[in-house]
């Protein structure tokens, strides 16, 4: 039975992977860059999926972690040639002490994962050890996203303000920026690894506990599990993954701005997951890719209409297809294979039971 | 002191102005099968909530195996060896029968041990054993949501077996069961939970007659009477409050 | 100097009080957070714009219209969406979130993205010594106080209010007693939405009316509800006073971002250590 279920997930994953790997051969550079960006979004969606899809915590401010990671790397690149113009404009002559570590790109890469993780851990610790409900958590994360965006815009001397950080290179190795295709494959590779990591994590005992927390938090306590610890752990890991995606974003996109780290980005990723199907593996990936491609194609011509449409789709999905598009598909497939398997088992049992009855009579 | 697995002393819990449990001294010996009776609102479930930590007492102490457990959280009491079965089977619908049992299995509570848990042969054997005891072997891969009500009750009992607690609290375990299922549950409780201590909250008098050794009757949060079923049934105070006019059976 | 800031903060507090009242009542009775609350405020503001600036009717007409239009939208929301999601708070959150996007874009489509303005019906200021209080801000405070009193009257002196309180405290029991909880839900939500619309109406003359004006107020209203305690009217009043004033004072002396951050931290602390709210009133 597992086999039937695994198959559709894995088959789809492999097919998608092949398609994505072959994509640079088929598409223009411009399109490849877009796909690369959307892959980063898919990774971002996978990170939210950990906390929302599997643990049931709707974070409406996940872009904060994305942004922390992205800005770490973005600032690191900006500082490579001494004090950047957006700082010197404000009379800053020297790189501030707090930013010194970012002068080293490898260190920045590490910080871009650790800092979001630590922040997530702290927030998680504060919130999950109290008896605060899920809705409170959601609004708090929303407020956090709003605040973070304001903060980044306000600290213009240090962050480039409203315009963000621009002209960022594509992951230079030994001084030479990587060609687009190479970097695209790096992004694809990392995303694939993250996918496998999520898959592994959710199939462990840990994953079972986390899914039980989503389903019935008080009940799982009676089996000895402290939900707070598990939530904090998942949230921290998710924060780190989101930070990683933020970092991958910077070389692909060339710039990062406050719009990428606040309310709009946070709510967008929620939309991709809702439509694709949270709590599944391929749902976030497909949702992120599909919605973003459609967005790209349609929103130039009909920006407002497209957003309108998205809003309506979200409402409809919540009402009628709560598992999302892919999630509903997976669910239907699972049910279908279960019925098949049941029929088989019944057939087997029928033949067996005749034999058993004879045995039973003897035992009695 | 020794020989008692559970003791409460002066246990009181107050909600607003209402005392759900009032100065209760309650003791259960190791290995006993104690039944708790009482009309609705007597405080039976509240007492269970207090013992397991779901509700915190306003005053008084609770001791488990000599250790003070007053004010602990449910996950802490569970780790100490107190298991609980609820009236409405609280199984995890979205997981399979086997997964439900695995989750209940003792010893993998810490995040890191949960991450690196391996289903070794010992666990596999135990699972198989439990599955045949609760008669769900052929439904091991079924989602719990697809089971019948009686099967869900048994799954929950199976989960308790997997949890391997020393003190088991059963809150109306036969609710919604047929007479046959009830009888089977009685047998299950007596055989499978032998050697452990069980506290059973019940209403079904036929079931109570089947399993009861010592019976405690609660009324309005206080201890009304305690003794064997025969003693209880003949106790005039009990008759006045509970059994008189009660056509339960 | 400080006094002036306090006076300025009154207007902010007043708007917040009306908006938070709406959110709080819905949260208390139905246990849901309406993510489209900000958009209902926005719809109220646009209604006032239509009635006053375009229709040239009196401001009072604008206020009434805003309340009614927002209440009507709320009723539709409840009837067609929220009712189906009863008992699932996260789903409700998500659905109202989708709705907020929809409403924002819908208004943007109809009115365009540019801000609109509504002229203030009361020009002029009241001078108390050195402190200037614009008359309109005073008006807002009066409206806020009136609405709180009206709500209190409805809650504690009418039959409907009694039913509302019953449902807040024990929904299933109320149903057993024969209360039509879905009707109560619908009316409660409509009332909360109407209050949001009214908040938009008083906001329109002092802030530019734009499709995205609502988000700030959603979060601020939520914070007031947390600080003041759910279901507590006095708490809402005091909470909005506290939030409005401290925001104003800190913005003047630190910066807007700094002010918001401090308030946010305060709210986190309250949620963590005193989840029943700062102004704990005995609820019977």
- Residue B151's CATH number: 3.40.50.300
Rounded to 5°, angle at Cα B163 from B159 and B168: 90
- Band of pLDDT at residue B242, cut at 50, 70 and 90: low
The pLDDT value recorded for residue C200 is 94
Whether C273 is covered by a domain: the verdict is no
Residues of A with Cβ-Cβ distance to C98 under 8 angstroms: 271, 274, 310-315, 317-318
Instruction: Please indicate if any CB of chain C lies within 8 Å of the CB of A140.
Output: yes
Q: What SS3 state is found at A146?
A: helix
Query: Which pair of structure tokens corresponds to residue A336?
Result: 């279908």
- Residue pair A57/A311 in contact by the 8 Å Cβ criterion: no
Instruction: Please indicate if any CB of chain A lies within 8 Å of the CB of C226.
Output: yes
User: What range does the domain containing B54 cover?
Assistant: 4-243
The pLDDT value recorded for residue C281 is 52
Distances, alpha carbon A217 to alpha carbons A227, B83, B91, in Å: 7, 16, 12
Q: Using the beta-carbon criterion (under 8 Å), do A139 and C219 form an inter-chain contact?
A: yes
- Band of pLDDT at residue B109, cut at 50, 70 and 90: confident
The pLDDT value recorded for residue A5 is 55
Nearest residue on chain C to A302, alpha-carbon basis: C109
Output DSSP code: residue A276.
H
Pairing of strands B197-201, B33-37: parallel
Whether C157 is covered by a domain: the verdict is yes
Q: Above 70 in pLDDT, residue A6?
A: no
- Residue pair C244/C13 in contact by the 8 Å Cβ criterion: yes
Residues 301-340 of A with CB under 8 A from C: 304-305, 307-308, 310-315, 317-319, 322
Whether B140 is covered by a domain: the verdict is yes
When CB atoms are compared, the residue of B75, B117, B159 closest to A205 is: B117
The pLDDT value recorded for residue A364 is 35
Beta strands in chain B (DSSP E): 4-15, 18-29, 33-37, 59-64, 67-68, 82-85, 167-171, 197-201, 214-219, 222-227
Percent of chain C with pLDDT over 90: 31
- Per the model's pLDDT, the better-predicted residue between C26 and C231 turns out to be C26
Q: Average pLDDT in the C255-266 region? A: 84
Q: Is B119 left (phi over 0), alpha (psi -120 to 50) or beta?
A: beta
- Residue pair B190/B33 in contact by the 8 Å Cβ criterion: yes
The pLDDT value recorded for residue A357 is 45
Strongest mean pLDDT among A61-70, A299-308, B183-192, C259-268: A61-70
Those chains having 3 or more beta-carbon pairs within 8 angstroms of chain A are B, C
- CA separation for the pair C116, A154 (Å, rounded): 26
DSSP conformation letters of B6-33? EEEEEEEEEETTEEEEEEEEEEEETT-E
Distances, alpha carbon C35 to alpha carbons A135, A282, B28, B195, in Å: 10, 28, 51, 54
Residues of B with Cβ-Cβ distance to A223 under 8 angstroms: 75, 78, 103-104, 159, 163
User: What range does the domain containing C96 cover?
Assistant: 2-213
Distances, alpha carbon C118 to alpha carbons C130, C197, C237, in Å: 28, 15, 26
Q: Average pLDDT in the C132-136 region? A: 84
Q: What is the pLDDT of residues A243-293, one digit of tens each?
A: 999 999 999 999 999 999 999 999 999 999 999 998 899 999 999 999 999
Chosen from C84, C87, C91, C271 to mutate, greatest number of chain A CBs within 10 A: C271
Q: What is the dihedral of CA A131, A134, A135, A138, to 10 degrees?
A: 110
The pLDDT value recorded for residue A312 is 94
Q: Using the beta-carbon criterion (under 8 Å), do C268 and A126 form an inter-chain contact?
A: yes
The pLDDT value recorded for residue B243 is 57
Tokens 């009990």, located at residue: B238
When CB atoms are compared, the residue of C85, C102, C272 closest to A312 is: C102
Q: Minimal Cα–Cα distance from A206 to chain B, Å? A: 5
- CA separation for the pair B214, B230 (Å, rounded): 10
Q: Average pLDDT in the A126-151 region? A: 88
* The CATH number, out of the four listed (1.20.140, 1.10.1740, 1.10.3470, 1.20.120), of the domain defined by the range A8-321: 1.10.3470
Those chains having 3 or more beta-carbon pairs within 8 angstroms of chain B are A
User: What ipTM was reported for this prediction?
Assistant: 0.86
The pLDDT value recorded for residue C256 is 79
The pLDDT value recorded for residue A291 is 94
H or E, element range at B40: none
Sequence spans of domains, chain A: 8-321
When CB atoms are compared, the residue of A224, A345, A349 closest to B78 is: A224
Number of domains in chain B: 1
Q: Minimal Cα–Cα distance from C34 to chain A, Å? A: 10
Number of domains in chain C: 1
Q: Above 70 in pLDDT, residue A360?
A: no
Q: Using the beta-carbon criterion (under 8 Å), do A227 and B92 form an inter-chain contact?
A: no
Whether B249 is covered by a domain: the verdict is no
Whether C192 is covered by a domain: the verdict is yes
Strongest mean pLDDT among A47-56, B104-113, C30-39, C241-250: A47-56
Q: Using the beta-carbon criterion (under 8 Å), do C257 and A150 form an inter-chain contact?
A: yes
Pairs across A and C, CB distance < 8 A? 115
Residues of A with Cβ-Cβ distance to C220 under 8 angstroms: none
CB atoms within 10 A of CB C115: 14
Q: Above 90 in pLDDT, residue A39?
A: yes
Q: Using the beta-carbon criterion (under 8 Å), do A224 and B109 form an inter-chain contact?
A: yes
Query: Which pair of structure tokens corresponds to residue B173?
Result: 């375990």
The residues on A that touch B, with CB distances below 8 Å, are: 1-2, 201, 204-206, 208-209, 211-212, 215-216, 218-227, 229-230, 233, 338, 341, 345, 349
Q: Above 50 in pLDDT, residue A358?
A: no
Q: Above 70 in pLDDT, residue A311?
A: yes
Q: Minimal Cα–Cα distance from A345 to chain B, Å? A: 8
Pairing of strands C125-128, C131-134: antiparallel
Q: What is the pLDDT of residues B37-53, one digit of tens each?
A: 888 778 888 899 999 99
Nearest C-alpha neighbor of A201 from the set B92, B120, B114: B114
H or E, element range at A43: helix A29-48
Nearest residue on chain C to A309, alpha-carbon basis: C102
- Residue pair C181/C164 in contact by the 8 Å Cβ criterion: no
Residues of C with Cβ-Cβ distance to A151 under 8 angstroms: 257, 261
- Residue pair C209/C118 in contact by the 8 Å Cβ criterion: yes
Instruction: Please indicate if any CB of chain A lies within 8 Å of the CB of C266.
Output: no
CB atoms within 10 A of CB A347: 10
Q: Minimal Cα–Cα distance from A252 to chain C, Å? A: 28
Output DSSP code: residue A315.
H
Nearest residue on chain A to C96, alpha-carbon basis: A315
H or E, element range at B70: none
Q: Average pLDDT in the C47-52 region? A: 92
Q: What is the pLDDT of residues A172-220, one digit of tens each?
A: 887 788 899 999 999 999 999 999 999 999 988 899 899 999 988 888 8
When CB atoms are compared, the residue of B78, B102, B111 closest to A229 is: B111
Q: What SS3 state is found at B54?
A: coil
Query: Which pair of structure tokens corresponds to residue C261?
Result: 């951050």
Backbone angles phi, psi at A169, to 5 degrees: -80, 165
Tokens 């700082």, located at residue: A87
- Residue pair A285/A46 in contact by the 8 Å Cβ criterion: yes
Q: Using the beta-carbon criterion (under 8 Å), do B115 and A1 form an inter-chain contact?
A: no
The pLDDT value recorded for residue C272 is 78
Q: What SS3 state is found at A23?
A: helix
């Amino acid at each position: 039975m597992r086999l039937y279920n695994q198959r559709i997930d894995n088959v789809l994953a492999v097919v998608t992977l092949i398609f994505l790997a072959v994509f640079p051969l088929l598409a223009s550079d411009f399109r490849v860059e877009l796909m690369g960006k959307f892959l980063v979004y898919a990774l971002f969606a996978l990170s939210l999926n950990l906390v929302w899809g599997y643990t049931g915590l709707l974070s409406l401010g996940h872009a904060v972690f994305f942004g922390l990671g992205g800005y770490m790397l973005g600032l690191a690149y900006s500082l490579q040639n001494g004090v950047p113009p957006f700082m010197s404009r404000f009379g800053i002559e020297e790189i501030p002490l707090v930013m010194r570590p970012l002068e080293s790109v490898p260190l920045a890469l590490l910080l871009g994962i650790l800092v979001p993780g630590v922040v997530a851990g702290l927030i998680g610790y504060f919130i999950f050890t109290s008896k605060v409900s899920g809705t409170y958590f959601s609004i708090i994360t929303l407020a956090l996203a709003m605040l973070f965006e304001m903060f980044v815009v306000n600290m213009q001397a240090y962050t480039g303000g409203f315009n963000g950080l621009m002209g960022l290179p594509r992951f230079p190795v030994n001084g030479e920026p990587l060609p687009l295709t190479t970097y695209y494959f790096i992004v694809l590779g990392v995303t694939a690894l993250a996918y496998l990591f999520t898959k592994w994590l959710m199939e462990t005992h840990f994953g079972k506990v986390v899914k039980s927390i989503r389903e019935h938090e008080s009940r799982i306590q009676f089996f000895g599990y402290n939900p707070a610890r598990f939530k904090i752990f998942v949230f921290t890991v998710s924060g780190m993954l989101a930070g990683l995606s933020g970092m991958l974003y910077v070389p692909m996109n060339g710039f990062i701005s406050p719009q990428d780290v606040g309310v709009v980005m946070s709510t967008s990723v929620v939309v991709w997951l809702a439509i694709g199907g949270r709590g599944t593996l391929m749902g976030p990936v497909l949702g992120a890719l599909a919605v973003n491609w459609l967005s790209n194609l349609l929103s130039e011509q009909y920006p407002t209409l497209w957003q309108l449409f998205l809003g309506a789709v979200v409402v409809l999905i919540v009402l009628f297809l709560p598992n999302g598009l892919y999630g509903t598909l997976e669910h239907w497939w699972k049910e279908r294979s279960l019925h098949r398997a049941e029929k088989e088992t019944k057939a087997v049992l029928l033949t067996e039971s005749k034999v058993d009855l004879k045995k039973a009579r003897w035992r009695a | 002191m020794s020989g008692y697995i559970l003791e409460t002393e002066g246990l009181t819990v107050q909600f607003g102005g209402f005392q759900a449990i009032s100065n209760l001294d309650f003791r259960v010996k190791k290995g006993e099968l104690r039944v708790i009776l009482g009309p609705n609102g007597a405080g039976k479930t509240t007492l269970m909530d207090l013992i397991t930590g779901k509700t915190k007492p306003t005053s008084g102490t609770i001791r488990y195996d000599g250790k003070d457990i007053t004010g602990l959280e449910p996950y802490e009491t569970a780790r100490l060896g107190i298991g609980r079965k609820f009236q409405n089977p609280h199984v995890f619908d979205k997981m399979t029968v086997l997964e439900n049992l695995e989750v209940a299995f003792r010893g993998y509570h810490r995040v890191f041990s949960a991450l690196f848990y391996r289903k070794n042969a010992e666990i596999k054997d135990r699972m198989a054993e439990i599955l045949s005891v609760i008669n769900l072997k052929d439904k091991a891969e079924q989602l719990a949501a697809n089971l019948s009500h009686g099967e869900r009750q048994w799954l929950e009992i199976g989960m308790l077996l997997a949890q391997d607690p020393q003190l088991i609290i059963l809150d109306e375990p036969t609710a919604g069961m047929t007479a046959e299922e009830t009888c089977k549950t009685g047998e299950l409780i007596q055989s499978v939970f032998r050697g452990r201590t069980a506290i059973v909250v019940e209403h079904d008098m036929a079931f109570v007659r089947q399993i009861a050794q010592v019976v405690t009757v609660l009324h309005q949060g206080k201890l009304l009477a305690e003794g064997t079923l025969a003693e209880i049934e003949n106790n005039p105070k009990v008759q006045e409050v509970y059994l008189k006019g009660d056509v339960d059976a | 100097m400080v006094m002036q800031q306090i006076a300025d903060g009154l207007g902010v507090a007043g708007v917040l009080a009306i908006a938070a009242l709406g959110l709080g009542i819905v949260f208390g009775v139905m246990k849901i957070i309406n993510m489209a609350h900000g958009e209902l405020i926005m719809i109220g503001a646009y209604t006032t714009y239509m009635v006053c600036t375009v229709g040239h009717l009196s401001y009072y007409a604008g206020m009434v219209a805003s309340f009614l239009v927002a209440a009507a939208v709320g009723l539709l929301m409840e009837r067609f969406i929220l009712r189906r999601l009863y008992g699932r708070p996260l789903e409700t959150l998500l659905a109202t979130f989708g709705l907020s996007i929809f409403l924002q874009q819908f208004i943007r489509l109809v009115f365009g993205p540019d801000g609109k303005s509504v002229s203030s019906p009361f020009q002029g200021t009241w001078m108390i010594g050195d402190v200037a209080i614009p008359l309109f801000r005073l008006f807002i405070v009066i409206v806020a106080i009136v609405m709180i009193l009206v709500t209190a009257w409805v809650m504690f002196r009418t039959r409907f209010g009694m039913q509302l309180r019953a449902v807040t405290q024990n929904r299933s029991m109320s149903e057993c007693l024969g209360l039509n909880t879905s009707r109560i839900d619908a009316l409660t939500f409509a009332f909360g939405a109407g209050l949001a619309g009214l908040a938009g109406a008083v906001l329109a003359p002092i802030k530019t009316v734009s499709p995205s004006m609502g988000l700030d107020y959603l979060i601020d209203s939520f914070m007031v509800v947390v600080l003041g305690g759910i279901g507590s009217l006095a708490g809402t009043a005091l909470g909005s006073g506290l939030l409005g004033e401290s925001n104003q004072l800190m913005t003047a002396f630190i910066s807007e971002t700094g002010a918001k951050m401090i308030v946010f931290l305060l709210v986190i602390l309250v949620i963590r250590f005193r989840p029943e709210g700062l102004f704990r009133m005995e609820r019977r």
